[in-house]
Every structure is written in structure tokens, then in C-alpha cells.
């Protein structure tokens, strides 16, 4: 927000790349850019940073300034477009359905935007055509987005007179005497901006879906209707995005999880609680076994800990102070209050404190597939990705300060190795630094942050600094993996903790025979098994690599004459460790093949009279390709070799 009180006749403006010019004071940003860049370049600029503030092209510049332009297809440029399109959608909704519809908020979000409305009748996708037609009319009107600062008191009175209670509530949370508003045609909204200069910049948009949302995310507040949409600067980019959304629908783990009989969620059991079906349990077992083997190979020891603990434990750990809203209510056992665990770390500290420790023991690397329970609002639950009970692939490392950097490097090595084995080779890495509220000394924070940084650089990883986004107890590294559609998923995290060792008086005897506090590292590589499996389903569209496919092959006999031989092969392959099924139904072979392909089974083993006579199987791949008939043992050896390669053995 700017106060324009400068009386200078000329000011100096420059681009962040160095070019500069002199312009009259109070000239607009658009005027300044006209002096600094070519016409072709200017057409790509829709806003800019002046210092650390992002502003509209029509913003007056009143003092010497450095300008960093924001171009259309940049992340910030798309955000400006989508925020502006959200305002156009809100105006269109009001134009069509009248002022009985009350508007709440309408931000840009990743890949799109939404706007929340209060309306007695529900919106439906059938309404989208009319809304989009009205939006197109507004776009063609070349309406400008006009920013105006209004006294908070006046703005509150204006919105109150129109019955816009949500806008009034927003104003009441703003401490400033003035509020920023934007008007496009006759639609006015409280907004910091920036926005596009006018509606002609909006060329390609699409409304996608409608969903319910509580006002301010509080289930005690009004239920609003949230219309989602997306926008791009050209129709080709929009079409590409919509095609990706269609592909994402096909890969939706909730749809595939049901079709492939991997898991189910039952109201009778409770929302957000997963029931693993046999095939899903097999998939999970394969992932768990691999995880355990790799951890043993990298010097970890496994722990198992309870699901509940005395409430006092969570008081000591600080969870009741910092995390109580995500914890379930306590229960009385023998007149003592217990609670379900939201974290595994206090239990691992309990193992540590069960003995006196020497500096010679370090590092201690303890890992657990520990199931935890956290309260998630019903509206936030989402298949396997957001649940109330889940299993973390948790580990805690206790080490000396001189071992910290090496341990972080080792975690990164194991982390990226496991992710690559599961098919994830692209990711974004973030280093989160000290927040405003924190525990521990500044010196410890600096040392820990530097250790994280050095480990990342030693590993040769590009990373971004996420300033102030560390947890209150220490800095951290976050790794967001990218799937086949280029979507990012938060999975891996490495956190340095100064809080729990202090709270639980965790110590060791150093070489000087004095007590010292060890460094504690929290880390999760997959995040949670439920979420990770959900991501795997969508990444592979259910077509899993052979080594962790729940079913590796299905035996298909052509007629009943081969049923007995098929049974013999089935037992032979099961005894050899293959995950095998048989289909002995009196159905046509093509029907059986089609069902096996729908189930995404890697191999179909066809058995007719010739295979029975030769002691072989004819191998058909799920993509329709046929391999030559081969002896049973040769097929078993082929599968085992492919699995070894898949696991990186």
C-alpha cells in the first residue's frame, strides 16, 4: 500500500537488470515500463514488484524505485490472472442470480481459483454454461480493474448496507484505517490485489466444479458453495491443462482403489479410517518389507511402540500445548487419563532414556512404521491422501553435534534412493529456516541450518530457501516429489529438533565424562504409507511395476481339460513365492483376458492342450503383447530377476 505525498518533479526508475530512466513523479508503472522495455516486452508484463511489493500497472510511482516486471506465464503472472478471473466469475454469478447471493472470498490457488458464495439453492455444473457466457460478455466489455482505498469505517457501512456480512467480518479483522478495494464494472470487492489492467487480458478460462466449504474453515460457521475454475493466457495452455485434469480423473486413487480392490472406507467403521483389502494389504506388505530391508542395510534398528500413552507424556512433549486441536479426546484407564498418539517421537525418546548413553554409541538410528491418529475435519478427508489414522515411516536419529551433517547427508542418500526405486526421480527441495516463534538458542539454529545446507550442497541438490517456515523446534528440509503428470506431492521431511531433548532431559556422557545433550533428527521418507500408496496409485495409474504388484500373474485355462494342470502350476508358482491367481471359470478365453487386463495384472499365463502336453505356459503381457511359450521354471526365474532389478538388487 502506498501513500503518494512526494512533490519531486522527476524520479529515477530502473529495472532489476540495470536499465534506468527518469520520469515525471506520479507517473504510472505502465508509463515507466514504456520507457524501459520494448513494445513486445511490455505486452507480456501484467504487473511488477516495486521493492518487495507487487503492484498494478496503473500504480503511480512517487519516488526512486527498482522495478521487477511480472510476465504473463510466470507463477505470479498466472496468479494475477486467476485472481482477476475469480472477480469476474463473482460478478457474473451476481448478475445472473441476483444480490440475494452473498459473496465471501475468491483467491487464486494452485492451478486455478475459487469463489465462495452463500445461496439458498445449490449451484450445479448445469449453471456453469450460463456463468461462463456472462463472464465472456464482461471480458469483451474491456472493463478496467480500478483500485481505490476507502476508510475502513465507510467500507464497512457500504457492505453492511448491501447485506454482505462476510465482507463486514473481513473488514473487522483489518487493523488499518484504510482498506484496499477493487471495482470491475459495478462489482466491488475488498482486495489487496494486484489485478490485471482490464478484462481483455482474460482469454481462456473454465469453471470446473462446485463443493461445500465452511466460512473461514470452521464447521460451526455457515456452509458456503465454492465454485472452482481455472484460467490461462491462451486457449492452448487451457486445453493442455484440461486434458491433464481428465487424465488425473482416470488416475484418481479413490476410483482405482475401488476397481482394483485395494482398500475401502466404511461409514460403519468411521470416515478417514482405512480398511485394507487383501490386494491392498499385499501391496502394503511389499512396500513395508522393502522399507525394512533398506533400513537394516543402512544401519537402522527397528522399534515398535504403543498406540496410546498417559496424557502426562503429551504434556511433557508439548503436544497438548501446540497440537491439541489435532488430538483425540483423552480416555480414563484405572483413573488415569490416556490419549491416542499423534506422533511417535516421545516413545522413541522413552527407549533412549531407558538406559544411560555414551558418546561412543552414536549415532543411534531407530525407525518405526508407527500408526498415529490425528483429528482431521470431515471436509478435509480425501481417500488415502488425508485420513485420521495412518502409518508414518518414522525414524529418529540421536547423534553428537559433530555427526549432524554426515547424518543428514546419509538420510538424503537413503531418501532419494528409495524414491528412485519407486519411480520418482523429479522433485523440488526446500530448506525451511527459523520462524518468528521458536525454541533453542540462535547459535544452535544457525549450526543446524548450516548442517542441512551443507548436506544438500554435498549431495549436489538444487534447493530453495523457505524463509521462516521451519517448525518451532528446528529447521527442516522438505522434498516434494513429482508424479507422471508433473503434480507435486509433499512426502519426505528431515527436521532437526532442539525441543524434545530439552523437555525430556535427554543426555549422554561425553568423552569428558560430563553430561551433554544429543542432536535429535526426525525424518520421514514416504510421509505416511497411506498417502504414499495413494500417490503411487495415481503415479502408475494402477499399473504397478512387477516387484510390488499385488498380483504378478493370473493363470487362464482354455477349457476344463487343463484345469488339473493349471492347479498344479498354481501350487508350484505359489511355493516359489510368486503372487499368483487362477481363473478356472467356464468362460471364453478372451473374456478372461479382458478381465485380467482391467485388473492391471502384469502377466496372463494361458494354458491349453499344447501347454499341458509340453509342461509350459504361454505368456501374455497386460499391454497385449505375447511372449513365446516357456517352461514354468523359466517363467518363475524371469519374474524373480525382473523383481530383483526393480528393487535395485
Catalytic sites, residue numbers: 345, 374, 392, 394, 396, 476, 522
| CA distance from start to end of the chain | 59
Is-cis flag, bond preceding 194, omega within 30? yes
Please, which residues have CB within 8 angstroms of residue 195's CB and are 6 or more apart in sequence? 56, 80, 83, 84, 87, 145, 147, 182, 184
Give CA–CA dist 45/47, Å, rounded. 6
The CA-atom distances, in angstroms, between 87 and each of 110, 196, 222, 233, 420 are 17, 11, 21, 16, 42
DSSP lists the bridge partners of residue 69 as 48
Give CA–CA dist 151/145, Å, rounded. 19
Using only C-alpha atoms, the chain has a radius of gyration, in whole angstroms, of 30
Element (H, E) at 439: none
SS3 call for 256: helix
CA-based nearest residue to 479, from 505, 498, 459, 509: 459
Sign of the torsion formed by the C-alpha atoms of 267, 269, 271 and 275: negative
Residue written as grid cell 466404511: 266
CA-based nearest residue to 87, from 236, 188, 208: 188
Give CA–CA dist 512/435, Å, rounded. 34
Amino acid at each position: 500500500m502506498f501513500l503518494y505525498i512526494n512533490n519531486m518533479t522527476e524520479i529515477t526508475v530502473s529495472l532489476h537488470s540495470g536499465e534506468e530512466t527518469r520520469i515525471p513523479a506520479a507517473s504510472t508503472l505502465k508509463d515507466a515500463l514504456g520507457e524501459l522495455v520494448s513494445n513486445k516486452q511490455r505486452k507480456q508484463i501484467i504487473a511488477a514488484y516495486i521493492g518487495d511489493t507487487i503492484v498494478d500497472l496503473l500504480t503511480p510511482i512517487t519516488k526512486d524505485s527498482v522495478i521487477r516486471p511480472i510476465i504473463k506465464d510466470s507463477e505470479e503472472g498466472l496468479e494475477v490472472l486467476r485472481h482477476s478471473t475469480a472477480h469476474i466469475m463473482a460478478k457474473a454469478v451476481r448478475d445472473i442470480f441476483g444480490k440475494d447471493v452473498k459473496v465471501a472470498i475468491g483467491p487464486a490457488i494452485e492451478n486455478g481459483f475459487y469463489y465462495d458464495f452463500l445461496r439458498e439453492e445449490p449451484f450445479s455444473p448445469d449453471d456453469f454454461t450460463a456463468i461462463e457466457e456472462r463472464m465472456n460478455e464482461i471480458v469483451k466489455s474491456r472493463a478496467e480493474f480500478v483500485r481505490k482505498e476507502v476508510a475502513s469505517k465507510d467500507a464497512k457501512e457500504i457492505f453492511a448496507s448491501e447485506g454482505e456480512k462476510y465482507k463486514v467480518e473481513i473488514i473487522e479483522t483489518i487493523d488499518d484505517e484504510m482498506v484496499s478495494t477493487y471495482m470491475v464494472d459495478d462489482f466491488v470487492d475488498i482486495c489487496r490485489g494486484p489485478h490485471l489492467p482490464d478484462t481483455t487480458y482474460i482469454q481462456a478460462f473454465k469453471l470446473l466444479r462446485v463443493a461445500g466449504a465452511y466460512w473461514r474453515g470452521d464447521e460451526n460457521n455457515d456452509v458456503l458453495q465454492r465454485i472452482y475454475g481455472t484460467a490461462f493466457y491462451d486457449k492452448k495452455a487451457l486445453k493442455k491443462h484440461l486434458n491433464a485434469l481428465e487424465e488425473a480423473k482416470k488416475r484418481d486413487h479413490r476410483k482405482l482403489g475401488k476397481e482394483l480392490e485395494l482398500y475401502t472406507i466404511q461409514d460403519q467403521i468411521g470416515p478417514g479410517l482405512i480398511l485394507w483389502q487383501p490386494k491392498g494389504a499385499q501391496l502394503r506388505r511389499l512396500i513395508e518389507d522393502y522399507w525394512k530391508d533398506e533400513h537394516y542395510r543402512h544401519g537402522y534398528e527397528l522399534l515398535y511402540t504403543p498406540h496410546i500413552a498417559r496424557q502426562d507424556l503429551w504434556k511433557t512433549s508439548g503436544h497438548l500445548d501446540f497440537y491439541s486441536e489435532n488430538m483425540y479426546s483423552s480416555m480414563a484407564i484405572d483413573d488415569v487419563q490416556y490419549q491416542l498418539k499423534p506422533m511417535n517421537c516421545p516413545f522413541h525418546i522413552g527407549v533412549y532414556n531407558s538406559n544411560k548413553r555414551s558418546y561412543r554409541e552414536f549415532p543411534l538410528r531407530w525407525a518405526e512404521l508407527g500408526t498415529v491418529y490425528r483429528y482431521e475435519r470431515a471436509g478435509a478427508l480425501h481417500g488415502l491422501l488425508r485420513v485420521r489414522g495412518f502409518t508414518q515411516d518414522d525414524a529418529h536419529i540421536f547423534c553428537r553435534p559433530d555427526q549432524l551433517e554426515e547424518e543428514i547427508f546419509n538420510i538424503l542418500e537413503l531418501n532419494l534412493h528409495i524414491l528412485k526405486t519407486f519411480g520418482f526421480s523429479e522433485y523440488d527441495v526446500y530448506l525451511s529456516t527459523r520462524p518468528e516463534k521458536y525454541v533453542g538458542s540462535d547459535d544452535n539454529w544457525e549450526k543446524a541450518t548450516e548442517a542441512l545446507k551443507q548436506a544438500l550442497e554435498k549431495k549436489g541438490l538444487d534447493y530453495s530457501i523457505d524463509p521462516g517456515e521451519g517448525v518451532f523446534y528446528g529447521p527442516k528440509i522438505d522434498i516434494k516429489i513429482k508424479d507422471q503428470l508433473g503434480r507435486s506431492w509433499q512426502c519426505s521431511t528431515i527436521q532437526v529438533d532442539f525441543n524434545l531433548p530439552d523437555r525430556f532431559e535427554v543426555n549422554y556422557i561425553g568423552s569428558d565424562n560430563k553430561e551433554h545433550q544429543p542432536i535429535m533428527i526426525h525424518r520421514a521418507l514416504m510421509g505416511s504409507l497411506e498417502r504414499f500408496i495413494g500417490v503411487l496409485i495415481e503415479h502408475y495409474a494402477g499399473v504397478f511395476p512387477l516387484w510390488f504388484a499385488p498380483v504378478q500373474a493370473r493363470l487362464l485355462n482354455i477349457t476344463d481339460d487343463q484345469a488339473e494342470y493349471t492347479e498344479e502350476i498354481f501350487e508350484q508358482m505359489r511355493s516359489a513365492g510368486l503372487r499368483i491367481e487362477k481363473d478356472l471359470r467356464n468362460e471364453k478365453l478372451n473374456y478372461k483376458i479382458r478381465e485380467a487386463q482391467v485388473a492391471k495384472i502384469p502377466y496372463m499365463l494361458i494354458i491349453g492342450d499344447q501347454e499341458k502336453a509340453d509342461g509350459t505356459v504361454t505368456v501374455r503381457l497386460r499391454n497385449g503383447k505375447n511372449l513365446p511359450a516357456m517352461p514354468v521354471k523359466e517363467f518363475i526365474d524371469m519374474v524373480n530377476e525382473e523383481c530383483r532389478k526393480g528393487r535395485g538388487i
